[in-house]
């Protein structure tokens, strides 16, 4: 596995930049990844989804929730999800949350 520095910390990542050890994650790392993803400011709505994704993943052996699971589990509409995390919301949210690439995301 590769490593890289995020927010002054060395973390393990895969070849697509997803963290491979979600226990290394913290909010500073999330903010650094968000900037890389073009999101310079994480709002309360972003954090709600990120925290929900991490809590859900923790209960499923750290597997990232899919887009469908996110919309059902958070009651955030697909349209709102795309406005929070443009283009690839499940993938961006998972990466910012320090999780693996969601199943079915290219």
pLDDT, residue 6, reads 95
Any alpha helices (H) in the chain, and if so which ranges?
27-36, 44-58, 67-74, 78-84, 89-96
Per-residue pLDDT of the chain (106 residues; tens, 9 = 90+): 799 999 999 999 999 999 999 999 999 999 999 999 999 899 999 999 999 999 999 999 999 999 999 999 999 999 999 999 999 999 999 999 999 998 777 6
Does the annotation count 105 as an active-site position?
yes
Entry pTM? 0.93
Q: Which of 11, 47, 105, 106 is catalytic?
A: 105
Place of tokens 């993943």: 57
pLDDT, residue 7, reads 95
Q: What is the spatial distance between Cα 53 and Cα 46, in angstroms, rounded to a whole number?
A: 11
Query: Radius of gyration over alpha carbons of the chain, in Å?
Result: 13
CA angle 100, 60, 102 (to 5 degrees): 30
The answer to whether 62 touches 97, Cβ cutoff 8 Å, is no
């Amino acid at each position: 596995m590769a490593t890289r520095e995020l927010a002054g910390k060395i973390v393990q990542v895969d070849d697509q930049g997803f963290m491979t050890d979600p226990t290394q994650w913290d909010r500073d790392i999330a903010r650094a990844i968000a900037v890389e993803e073009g999101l310079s400011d994480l709002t309360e709505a972003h954090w709600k989804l990120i925290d929900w994704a991490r809590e859900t993943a923790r209960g499923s052996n750290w597997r990232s929730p899919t887009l469908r699971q996110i919309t059902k589990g958070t009651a955030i509409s697909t349209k709102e999800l795309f406005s929070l995390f443009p283009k690839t919301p499940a993938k961006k949210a998972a990466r910012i949350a320090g999780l693996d690439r969601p199943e079915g995301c290219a």
